[in-house]
Structure formats: C-alpha cells, structure tokens
Structure 1
Amino acid sequence: MSPEAVGFAFLILGVALLLGKFVRVKVGWVQSLFLPSSIIGGALLLILGPQVLGRFNGPWGESGLFTEGMVETWGVLPGLLISVIFATMFLGQDLPSPKRAAKLVGPQLSLGVAFGSGQYVIGLLLAALILVPVFAASPMTGALIEIGFEGGHGTAAGMRPVMEELGFGEGADLAVGLATVGIVGGIIIGIGLINWGVRTGKTEELKGDVKMSVAEQKGLFRSDEYYSAGTMTSRPSSVEPFSLHMAIVAVAILIGWCILEGLRWIEQQTYANVMLDDTTPLEIFAYVPLFPMALLGGVIFQVIAGRFGFDRYIDHQVMLRIQGLALDFLIVSAIATLSLEAVGDNLAAFAILAVAGIVFNVAIFLWLAPRVIGRFWFERGIGDFGQSMGVTATGLILMRVVDPEAKTPAFEAFGYKQLVFEPFFGGGLVTALAIPIIYLTGVWPLFFVMLAVFTIAVLVGLLYFRPREMKDRDEHNRKMAEQEQASV
C-alpha cells in the first residue's frame, strides 16, 4: 500500500465527516435523532463502498467508489486510534478530595458496575441457552453486548484483531453494529425517558417540556455562545500546545505498550507452557489489545506529572479534543468497513442481543437507580444509562439535557465514577480479557464471575448506600416541606 493511498484514505474520511455535518445541519429528522456526524459520514462511506455499491455491477468495481487500498487503510485505523482515545481519558484531570469523591462515587459506581457486569450476565446466558445451541453461534457472542453497548464503536473496532485471531472475525462486525444500535437507541430512548421523568416529577431541576434550541439540534453554537477548546499551556514559539499534548499521548501509549509487552513476557516465562489441549496453550495477555494498557499508561504519566510538578502543562480540554478527533475518525472508518454480510448471516443473534441489551439497560435504570441514589437519582442515573447504551458522550448529552446548567452533582459524580470504572469495563481490562477467557474456558466461568460481580454491586448499593442516600433524600424533602409551610 503506497503512502499516497494512505493519505488519500484520510482525506476521504475528512470529506465524509464534513458531509455528515452538512446532513446534520440540513436534515430535520437527523437532528431530532441527534445523530453524530461521524455515524452519518460512516454510513455514507458504507453505502458507497464495497458492502453496498460494490455489490452492483457497474463501472466502479467491487470496491465501490473507493480503491482497495483505501478500504484496507480504513480497516486498520480503528485498532490504532482506540489507543489514542483511551490514553487521553485521565490525562490532565485533577484528582478529587477523598471525602467528596467517596460520598458521590459509591452509589454511582454501584450502578455503573451493575450496568457493565449485567450486560455480560445477560449476553453469556443468552449465548449458552439460545445463541450457541439454536443458532450455532460462537460462545464469544456472549461478550458482544458489553463490547458494543458499554464499550461503543471504539472498543468494538479495537477488539477486531483479537477476535479475528481467535477465529471470531464476524464478532467485530456484530459489535460495531450493536454499537450503532446502542448509540442511536441511547439518544432516542434517553430523550423519551427524560420527557417521562419531567412529566412524572422524577427530575429535580428540569421542569416543563424538554426543548432544545435549533442550534443545539444542529450541533452548532449560537452566535452569542462561547466554548473554550482548551488552554495554551506552552508558547507556540517553543512548541505548538496541540503538538505537545499529542507527544504526551504518544508517551502514554508507549508506557502502556511496555506494560503489555512485560506482561506477555512474564506469561511466556511462566504458565504459557501449560496446554489446555493439544493445540491451545494457556495464554491470556497474548490476546489482550493495547488500548486498556494505554489507559493505564495515561494514568501513570499523569501521576508522574503531578509528582514532579509539570501537570499544569497538561490541559484536559485539549486532551478531550484529541480524544474527540480520534473517536470521530474511528467511528467513520469502523462503520465504513462494517461487514453487512456478517451481520446478515447472524441477524437472529444480532437482533436478540440488541433487544436484550436495550431492555436490560432500561430496566436497570428504572429499577436500580432510584433505589441506590438519593437526591437527583434521575439526573445522575441517566448519564450511566447513556454510557451503557453507547459511549461516554451519549451519557454526557443526556445529562446536559436534563441538567442544562449543571446545578446537580450529576457531572461530578459521573466523572469520579469514571476514574474507577473505566480501567475495567467499557473497554478496560475486563472487556479486553473477556473474549480470550471465553475462548479458553467457555461461557460458564466468566458468567459466574460476572454474576457474582453484578450481585455484589446490586447488594452493596441496596444494603449499604441506599440507607444513607434515602436519609439525605428524606431530609431534603422535610426541609422543603417546612419551607413551603412557613411561606404559607
């Protein structure tokens, strides 16, 4: 593949993103669904590429309007960009005070872990009882709800090399498809839940109909709005601040790579010589991708920066822009290379997983969130619901709708929870290890582990956090009643 082909492939991705933004601004029903431009652009490339246009006889050939080299480049991009996304997650973030974090993170983490582990419980149970015996699906299908929904497009695409190496190549396409269903469903169902919450008095800040400005629906800022994209932490005459942050991301990824290679070396020197059968050695880290270790590399770099006093040169808003850039290009390329044939061949399993994941997420939000979170349970719970359906951005969008002025602790509690949650679920170590573990041991060992984690998360929330949270809620309601009575 020539450098020119790689460069042109990136140019077409940029054109697709711009077209996606144009469609978002001009098409009303797309605005009402809050579809990200990256999903629209990816869908356009998918239609014009080998999966749709290329299947019709015409002058364009089997690759549609694109060359084989461009499609090949798009296919490998997600596996590279996902490490950038995870490396930036904690870079530039200040750690909260232990007392404040402990008060907010407990019930929020209980809810988040219930979402993440429960998706494995549902998926693995469906795989063992229905998908494998009835539809001859791979046992690894049981991990796809968490990979696609909780992990999103980035995790789904980033796990492709591992799945292909283990003979489950169609799993990556199913996961990307589930991620698309999740992110669209998360917005649509989330907005519906918010409207229901407002009408029934479940929300504490938002009253009246949920309305968004035309600019918000188009994904634009009003002329009187200003949003800072980041802080200049170094003088451009020395080094461009964006370049400095990209260099920091590169170092974080390299730290993660060293950790992964070290774990693989230890594995080869210890238990890798144990054979599960005649051809399968006991290897786990050999199949673990780089991106969860890139996250750990970012955390290590941030700790070192804080220890030696140069953390002030790392701006989290700039890191978020780098993360957003990588995520947009990742989603476009992942959807553009989605195998519709793989989804079609496994349509029954795909539909079952999608419906089961949506039903489970809605049920957990409506049942568990109000029982483990006291005040502002709706505002705080809707963020975890959105994340469990797609990506973190989905949860942030829903929290912004229900708490537009950030008057509740929803954003703060969500951020604290991410510090503990992200290293494990939604693309963390648990997500990375799930597929290799199922491949090596089958469905049931991971199922029982996740069932135990889910049960512990729910019980801790109900038995430990609930009494304290309900006390705070009752105390607030009592004060409000006294104020109303005094005013009368």
Structure 2
Amino acid sequence: MIQNYESSSTWTAILYLVTLSILMLVGNTIRRKIPIFRKSLLPTAVIAGLLGLVLKELLVKPLASRDIILSMANLELFNQFLNLVTYHTLAIGFIAMGLKINEKIEIKTNKAHSYYNGMVIVSTYLLQGIIGIGITLLLAYTVLPVFKTGPGLATGLLLPFGYGQGPGQANNFGLIYELFDPNGFQGAQSYGLAMASMGFIWASIGGVFYLNRFKKMKVTGEERVSTLTSLQEIETPDEIPVAESMDKMTVQIALILAVYGATLLMMFGLSKLVSLNDGIYKMVNPLIWGFNFIFGMVLAIVAKKLFVYLRKTGLMTRQYPNNFMLNRIAGVVFDVMVISSILAINVEDLSGNIWIAFLLISTVGGVLTMIYLHYLTKRIYKEYALEAFAGMYGMLTGTASSGIALLREVDPYYKTPAATDLVTGTTTAILFGLPILLIASYAPQGILQSLISFAVLSVLFIVFVMFMYKQHPKA
C-alpha cells in the first residue's frame, strides 16, 4: 500500500501546488519588504507569477537539458497543469461570486447598464482588431512579406483574441489560420499564444502603471483592506451555524462544486448538440468550452434564485450561501489563477522575424487600449471610473482573472458594480460580438476578405462609439 502511494502520480500535482504556494509566499514577502513593490499596486500573485516565470526560463529550462529529473517532458506536464488550473479556477471564482446573496452596493445601476458593459467590451475588441490587421497589413507590404496571404493578414485578429479572450481562443484561431492555407503564414498558433502571454504583462504592468498614476485621487487597496470587517458582514442571523454536522465552509465549497458540475454537464450537452453539424461545431465548440465561467455564473445566479424561491415557500428555512466565505473562496482561486496563468507563459512562442510584428502590435494594442478605456470608462462609469477601468482593462488585455486582480486593488470588497460589470458585460458581449466571430472566420479566406474585414471592423467601431457617447453625454 505504501509503495502504491509513493508511485502515485497524484504526488506530481501536490508538488506543483507546493511550488505555487511557495512562490506566493515569496511574492508576498517581496511586496511587503521591498519599498518599490510595497508602494505599488502590483498584486502579490502577479509578483509571484513573474518570479516563477523568470526562474523557469533562466534556471529550470537550462537544467532540464542536463538533468533527467527536470526533463522537458516534466516541464510540459507542468504547463499543462497550470493551464488546467487557470481554466477551472476562473469558473469556480465566478460561480462563488454568482452565489453571493445580493448586497447593498454603494452605486446603483439600471437594467440597461449590462448592455453598455457588453458594448464597451466589444468596441474594445473592434479597436484591437483594427490595430492588429492594420499593422499586419502595413508590415506585409514593407518588411514582412510572410503576411501576404489571407491567413497572414488575418492573424492581426489574434490581438483581440489573445488580449480580450485569453490563450484558449488565441490558440484555437491561430490553428484555424494555419489550416486555411498550409503554404501561408506558419506559426500562427504560437503567435497567438505569445500574444496572449504579452497581454498578461500589459494587464499587470500597464494596469498597475495606470492605477499608480491615479493613486493620489483614490484610496489605495492596501488602506481599504485594513478596514475592520464587522460581524454582520461575516454572518447574518438567519444563516446556518458556522459548525454543525457539516462545517459552514464545507457547505460553500459543496455548493460551488455542485454548480460547476452542472455547468460542465450543460457544456458537454451543448457540445454534443453542435457536433451534429461539422461547420457549426468547428466554430461554436471552442466558444462553449472557452466561456465556462459565463455558463457557471449563469447557473450560479439560477441557483441563487432557486434558494430565494425555496425560502419563500418555506421548504428551506436557513440561508446557506455566506457572502464572507464566498468572497474568501473567490479570492483564493483568483490568486491561484493569476499566478498559474503568468507562470504558464511560453517565451519560446516566437521565432524568426515575427517578433517585429509581435512587439509592434502588442505594444500599440496595449497603449491604445489603455487610452481608449481611459476616456470611455470616465464617460460610461462616471461614479466609479477607476474601478471600472481596472476591471475592464485587466480583462481586455489579459483575462477576467487579470481584471479581477486589478479590481481587487482598488475595490477589494466589491462595493462598486465593477466586478458584476465584467460578468454581465461578457454575457451581453456574446450577442454584440457575433459579427467579430463571423469576421474571424471570413478574413483568412483571402487578401480581399481580410481588407473587407478591416473595413467592416472600422465601421462597426465607429457605430458603437457614437452610440455610447450619445447615450452617455459628458457631465
């Protein structure tokens, strides 16, 4: 029996978790003890992730070529583990937020607000698509003729997929662009992954730069966290006891995992449904599995409504979800998600002269996204512009986890609707973003199609911006 335990592959996952925990503790020490980090708003998870990435590239990889124990196969397994953790913790965190009982937030919004959230997200996708294809077109006819194909020009769309939707979508569409023309731009898949990786850096470093720029105008996250939490916030009188036959924290975890189980079952059913048509399957299936956190959030809200109904009918006499514990669970999984996503970056995704396009597009994309959201959030979210920018910019350059990481620095208790905006906005963005998905499949079919896609993106961007500015006049 002991030998079976010693040989179990489960220990590999345990060692990976131990590695993440040690990096997190070291990152926390760095932030607390080194003045430049202590004064900044750089999240501890980001510091830990960047530290781990440096160690992986400069220490572990060189040793892997000499030591069997640190083989490249083990590194590949480690990256797979990190991607798996990032994928699932995103959904778990959003389910935890969705199960929270409605709290009294300081700023109220109307029902149409969620649609404007979606328009902010999609208009940023459009801007990033314009930047990507525009610069790719310029480079194709100057220094990088490798882009002179339909799929080559279309790879500019990997900027919004990499920045706005994360590594999964960038990887999927990069592979699609490679398959459209085997003689065209090769390495699109790696290019998309690298773009997504750079998005994490822009989300953390660029986002922190912006937050520090406006730090004197707002209370910092560190000062807000130091505020004492009242007993009323930890537990309300009608909730289940902290310790009964089942611990209260166990109940919260069980609720979250039950909802996630239902989420995976629903996603599996939808995947089977769309598989009836090969064309629809290739287009929609990646979206189904890529948006697990949206499905999870929706089912969490449904579960919360069910609890309310059961209490009204008297079938359930106590409140089971606890906001304080759900916040703590969400905080833990988001921290783990941030460090895992950064540590999973593969620096070797770029090769040859493609780095010219990569650096130019990623830099211009990061800067213009920041400038655009700076002015847009001040217009749309007048009462909590900084919090809205933190969440939106983090999500639209990295992933939703990056947005939450930045948001927690300026709104750790989610007193503003900014956290909810990310979820409702992403949901409504599916409706507004359908043209982008169609364009993403149309653009790689040829050079003319890429040029038409560029024009359509530009027109849609102008229409979205004009509508939002008209509906939200400057104060």
When the two structures are superposed, what TM-score results if normalisation uses the length of structure 1? 0.70
Change (3 A) 1:295 1:340: same
Corresponding residue for residue 126 of structure 1: 135
Change (3 A) 1:306 1:15: same
**Other structure's SS at 1:288 match:** helix
Corresponding residue for residue 295 of structure 1: 294
Distance in 1, matches of 2:74 and 2:271, equals 37
Q: How many residues align?
A: 427
Change (3 A) 1:37 1:63: farther
Corresponding residue for residue 393 of structure 1: 404
Distance in 2, matches of 1:86 and 1:172, equals 24
Asked if residue 85 in structure 1 is aligned to residue 93 in structure 2, the reply is: yes
Distance in 1, matches of 2:299 and 2:406, equals 26
Out of 93, 96, 110, which is 1:101 matched to? 110
Please say if residues 99 and 304 of structure 2, whose CA atoms lie closer than 8 Å, have aligned partners that are also in contact.
no
For 1:434-449, list aligned pairs within 5 A.
Answer: 438=440, 441-442=443-444, 443=450
The 10-residue stretch of structure 1 (230-239 or 253-262) with the greater mean CA deviation from structure 2: 230-239
**Other structure's SS at 1:94 match:** coil
Q: Tell me the C-alpha RMSD between the 2 structures.
A: 4.4
Question: 1:441-468: CA deviations, max 9, x gaps?
Answer: 52567656654553333122222332xx
The residue type paired with residue 179 of structure 1 is F
Change (3 A) 1:212 1:296: closer
Question: 1:9-46: CA deviations, max 9, x gaps?
Answer: 11111111111111111112223342222222222322
Out of 115, 122, 136, which is 2:124 matched to? 115
Corresponding residue for residue 207 of structure 2: 186
The residue type paired with residue 188 of structure 1 is F
Question: 1:184-233: CA deviations, max 9, x gaps?
Answer: 111112322x26xx7xxxxxxx4xxx7859x65xxx954x7447885485
Runs (5+) with no aligned partner, structure 1: 199-205, 275-280, 474-488
Out of 233, 236, 246, which is 1:239 matched to? 246
Out of 163, 172, 175, which is 2:193 matched to? 172
Please say if residues 254 and 297 of structure 1, whose CA atoms lie closer than 8 Å, have aligned partners that are also in contact.
no
Corresponding residue for residue 146 of structure 1: 160
Corresponding residue for residue 478 of structure 1: none
**Other structure's SS at 1:180 match:** helix
Runs (5+) with no aligned partner, structure 2: 1-7, 179-188, 312-318, 445-449
Please say if residues 338 and 405 of structure 2, whose CA atoms lie closer than 8 Å, have aligned partners that are also in contact.
no
Distance in 2, matches of 1:303 and 1:334, equals 29
Distance in 1, matches of 2:219 and 2:293, equals 39
Distance in 1, matches of 2:265 and 2:372, equals 38
Please say if residues 204 and 406 of structure 2, whose CA atoms lie closer than 8 Å, have aligned partners that are also in contact.
no
Please say if residues 21 and 37 of structure 1, whose CA atoms lie closer than 8 Å, have aligned partners that are also in contact.
yes
For 1:24-103, list aligned pairs within 5 A.
Answer: 24-49=31-56, 52-55=59-62, 63=70, 67-68=74-75, 69-92=77-100, 94=102, 100-102=109-111
Please say if residues 88 and 319 of structure 1, whose CA atoms lie closer than 8 Å, have aligned partners that are also in contact.
yes
Distance in 1, matches of 2:347 and 2:414, equals 41
Change (3 A) 1:301 1:321: same
Please say if residues 118 and 426 of structure 2, whose CA atoms lie closer than 8 Å, have aligned partners that are also in contact.
no
Please say if residues 87 and 294 of structure 1, whose CA atoms lie closer than 8 Å, have aligned partners that are also in contact.
yes
Please say if residues 148 and 182 of structure 1, whose CA atoms lie closer than 8 Å, have aligned partners that are also in contact.
no
Asked if residue 356 in structure 1 is aligned to residue 364 in structure 2, the reply is: yes
Corresponding residue for residue 427 of structure 2: 423
Change (3 A) 1:24 1:352: same
Please say if residues 294 and 423 of structure 2, whose CA atoms lie closer than 8 Å, have aligned partners that are also in contact.
no
The residue type paired with residue 115 of structure 1 is T
Distance in 2, matches of 1:102 and 1:176, equals 35
Distance in 2, matches of 1:237 and 1:169, equals 51
Distance in 1, matches of 2:37 and 2:210, equals 15
Question: What percent identity do the matched residue pairs reach?
Answer: 15
Change (3 A) 1:179 1:447: farther
Distance in 2, matches of 1:332 and 1:419, equals 21
Please say if residues 234 and 240 of structure 1, whose CA atoms lie closer than 8 Å, have aligned partners that are also in contact.
no
**Other structure's SS at 2:404 match:** helix
Q: CA deviation at 1:348?
A: 2.1
**Other structure's SS at 2:30 match:** helix
Distance in 1, matches of 2:171 and 2:89, equals 13
Change (3 A) 1:44 1:243: same
Change (3 A) 1:258 1:364: same
Corresponding residue for residue 476 of structure 1: none
Corresponding residue for residue 340 of structure 1: 347
Q: CA deviation at 1:297?
A: 3.4
Please say if residues 24 and 30 of structure 1, whose CA atoms lie closer than 8 Å, have aligned partners that are also in contact.
yes
Asked if residue 12 in structure 1 is aligned to residue 19 in structure 2, the reply is: yes
Please say if residues 127 and 139 of structure 1, whose CA atoms lie closer than 8 Å, have aligned partners that are also in contact.
yes
Change (3 A) 1:190 1:117: farther
Corresponding residue for residue 314 of structure 2: none
Change (3 A) 1:356 1:230: farther
Please say if residues 126 and 142 of structure 1, whose CA atoms lie closer than 8 Å, have aligned partners that are also in contact.
yes
For 1:258-273, list aligned pairs within 5 A.
Answer: 258-269=265-276, 271-272=277-278
